[in-house]
Structure 1
Amino acid sequence: MTETSTQDPATQYQRVMLKISGEALMGDQGYGLHPPTIQRIAKEVQTVHEMGVEICMVIGGGNIFRGLQGAAQGMERTTGDYMGMLATVLNALAMQSALEGLGIFTRVISAIPMDQVCEPYIRRRAVRHLEKKRVCIFAAGTGNPYFTTDTGAVLRASEMSCDAIFMGKNGVDGVYDKDPAKHDDAKRYDKITYDEVLAQHLGVMDATAIALAQGNSQPIIVFPLDEPDGFRKVLAGEGTFTTVSG
Structure 2
Amino acid sequence: MNPIYKRVVLKLSGEALAGKKGSGIDTDTIMRIAKEIKEIQKVGVEISIVVGGGNFWRGANSKEMDRTTSDHIGMLGTVMNALALQDGLEKLDVITRVQSAIDMKQIAEPYIRRRAVRHLEKKRVVIFAAGTGNPYFSTDTTAALRAAEIEADVILVGKKGVDGIYDSDPKINSSAKKFENLTYIDILNLGLGVMDSTATSLCMDNKIPLIVFGIDDTGTIIDVINGKKIGTHVKED
TM-score tier after normalising by the smaller chain length: over 0.9
Worse-matched range after superposition: 164-173 or 135-144: 164-173
Instruction: Give matches, 1:130-169, under 5 Å.
Output: 130-169=120-159
Decide whether the 8 Å contact of 1:32 with 1:64 is kept in 2.
yes
Q: CA RMSD in A?
A: 1.1
Per-residue CA deviations over 1:66-108 (Å, capped at 9, x if unaligned) read 21122x1x11111111111111000000000000001100000
- CA distance in structure 1 between the partners assigned to 2:55 and 2:41 by the alignment: 26
Gaps of 5+ in 1: 1-7
Cα distance between partner residues in 2 of 1:217 and 1:127: 19
List aligned pairs for 1:107-146, cutoff 5 A. Answer: 107-146=97-136
1:192 corresponds in structure 2 to: 182
Which residue number in structure 1 is paired with residue 29 of structure 2?
37
Segments of 4+ moved more than 3 angstroms: none
Shift of 1:188: 1.5
The offset of 1:233, in angstroms, is 0.6
Question: Deviations along 1:133-162, whole A, 9 cap, x unmatched?
Answer: 000000001010100011011101110100
What does residue 5 of structure 1 align with?
none
**How many residue pairs were aligned?**
236
Match of 1:75 among 65, 71, 83: 65
3-state SS of paired residue (1:152): helix
Instruction: State the 1:239 CA deviation.
Output: 4.8
- Aligned residue for 1:28, secondary structure, equals helix
**1:19 aligned onto 2:2:** no
Q: Does the 8 A contact of 1:19 with 1:168 survive in 2? A: yes
1:211 aligned onto 2:201? yes
1:4-27 Cα offsets, whole Å, 9 max, x none, are xxxx6x222000000011011112
Report the Cα distance in structure 1 between the residues aligned to 2:49 and 2:123, rounded to whole angstroms: 13
When structure 1 is superposed on structure 2, of 26-35 and 205-214 the one drifting more is: 26-35
Note if contact 2:14-2:54 (Cα within 8 Å) is conserved in structure 1: yes
Residues in 1 aligned to 2:61 and 2:168: alpha-carbon distance in whole angstroms: 24
Corresponding residue number in structure 1 for 2:213: 223
Relative to structure 1, is the Cα distance of residues 239 and 217 closer, same or farther in structure 2, using a 3 angstrom cutoff? closer
TM-score (norm 2): 0.96
Distance 2:12 2:149 in 1: 19
**Percent identity between the two aligned chains:** 54
| Structure 1, 41-50 or 116-125: larger mean CA deviation | 41-50
Does structure 2 retain, via aligned residues, the 8 Å contact 1:230–1:239?
Answer: no
CA distance in 1, matches of 2:20, 2:156: 23
Name the TM-score, length of structure 1 as normaliser. Answer: 0.93
Q: Does 1:56 align with 2:48?
A: yes
Secondary structure of the residue that 2:39 maps to in structure 1? helix
Counterpart CA distance in 2 for 1:233 and 1:112 is: 33
Question: How far apart, in 2, do the equivalents of 1:183 and 1:145 lie?
Answer: 33
